[in-house]
Amino acid sequence: MIGALVIAVDGPAAAGKGTLARRLAAALGLPYLDTGLLYRATGRRVLDRGADPHDAAIAAEAAAALRPEDLDRGDLRGPAADMAASTVAAIPAVRAALLEWQREFGRRHGAVLDGRDIGTVVFPAAPVKLFVTASPEERARRRWLELQARGVAADQAQVAAEIRDRDAQDANRPVAPLKPAEDALLLDTTALDAEAAFARALEMVRDRLNFLDAIPAEA
């Protein structure tokens, strides 16, 4: 059962989705996919061409031409890359081009995937869906600390404003907006460090799987 298990981890920016999803995947022996990288790499390709990330035709072409090695680029994070990712992510043709890639990845051996629409669109039938949140202040603090650690000088209020704008763009777009699936389990990590969030998430995953196992299979 664990072999084909898909776990969806969604939530707003800097909530700790990636850190949590990676640890869950390692603990459960599942592959991990950071789906934000697909949108980041698409946005980066558009910027590299000197084009506007709002240009739907160019962005769709960039998404269709994406290759696995594009996800390993070192320049996919930072304010410009963050916003370019969110802007191309609002374009339906971009999302369509990236959908099958994500489904293929998860179907093959099961997986933990993190993003915005994994539980609502990519794997709506995933047995386990976590929606990870933290207060906007705490998320801004976490992203700011990450920038500090990378030696990037940043203003905390500026980081907070960028996160707020990006979350608003992600939550208000018509296609695959950021929102919890109806059957998502909510995990507020505002007062939890990464270790405590992982322990709680693992408990939630186990409870959910035990609960599903206890339901008799349909005749």
> Strand, coil or helix: what is 112?
strand
Q: Looking at beta carbons only, is 5 or 140 nearer to ligand CDP?
A: 140
The residue number whose beta carbon is nearest to ligand CDP equals 36
17 belongs to an annotated ligand binding site: yes
- 56 in Cβ contact with 23 (< 8 Å): no
- The residues that touch ligand CDP, with contacts defined as CB under 6 A, are 11, 13-19, 35-36, 39-40, 82, 85-86, 89, 115-118, 142, 146, 166, 170, 189, 192-194, 197
12 belongs to an annotated ligand binding site: yes
State the helix-helix crossing angle for 56-64 and 36-48, rounded to 10 degrees.
Answer: 120
- Least Å from the CB of residue 9 to ligand CDP: 8
- Least Å from the CB of residue 208 to ligand CDP: 20
Tokens of 128: 């386990």
- Least Å from the CB of residue 187 to ligand CDP: 9
Report the half-sphere exposure of 116 (CA within 13 A, side-chain side).
26
- Least Å from the CB of residue 192 to ligand CDP: 5
Task: Tell me the sheet residues that pair with 32.
Answer: 112
Tokens of 151: 């030696």
19 belongs to an annotated ligand binding site: yes
